[in-house]
């Protein structure tokens, strides 16, 4: 089984939507751009957001088991996926990529 590197690529924040719809939340997202996590198969990396993991885990599991070429050529690197978490107020974009040498 391959390890999968998950990199925090971009973070957005929609203050107008937060003000209009969300109840105040402390520490809603503690991710930082450039932060890297290593997933070992289905195991969620320590410190990784539970909600983000729900969005990413199917792709991570597929990559960990040698899967590639999501959606018939969507990604330039066939052994990667760009996935965002499901937070509509402060979405985070993650790049998941297989770490074995064949993917480099």
In this structure, what token pair is assigned to residue 30?
């503690």
Sign of CA dihedral 83, 57, 96, 90: positive
pTM higher than 0.75: yes
Residue 54 lies in a domain: yes
> Domain count of the chain?
1
In this structure, what token pair is assigned to residue 75?
């990604």
Confidence grade of residue 83 (pLDDT, cut at 50, 70, 90):
very high
Longest dimension (CA), the chain: 47
Residue 79 lies in a domain: yes
* Residue range 4-17: mean pLDDT, rounded: 96
* Residue range 78-93: mean pLDDT, rounded: 96
* Burial of 78 (C-beta count, 10 Å sphere; 0-12/13-18/19+): middle
Residue 44 lies in a domain: no
Structural domain harbouring 68: 3-38+49-96
In which order are the strands placed within the sheet that holds 3-11? 36-40, 3-11, 92-98, 80-84
pLDDT digits (tens, 9 = 90+) for 39-78: 998 789 999 999 999 999 999 999 999 999 999 999 999 9
Residue 14 lies in a domain: yes
Confidence grade of residue 25 (pLDDT, cut at 50, 70, 90):
confident
Note the pLDDT of residue 101. 52
The span from the CA of 36 to the CA of 15, in Å, is 26
Note the pLDDT of residue 104. 43
């Amino acid at each position: 089984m391959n390890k999968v590197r998950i990199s925090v690529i971009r973070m957005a924040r929609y203050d107008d939507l937060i003000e209009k719809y969300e109840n105040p939340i402390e520490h809603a997202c503690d991710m930082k751009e450039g932060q890297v996590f290593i997933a070992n198969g289905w195991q969620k990396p320590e410190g990784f957001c539970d909600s983000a993991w729900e969005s990413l885990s199917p792709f991570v599991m597929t990559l960990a088991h040698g899967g590639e070429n999501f959606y018939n050529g969507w990604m330039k690197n066939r052994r990667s996926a760009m996935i965002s978490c499901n937070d509509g107020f402060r979405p985070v974009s993650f790049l998941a990529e297989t770490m074995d040498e064949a993917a480099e």
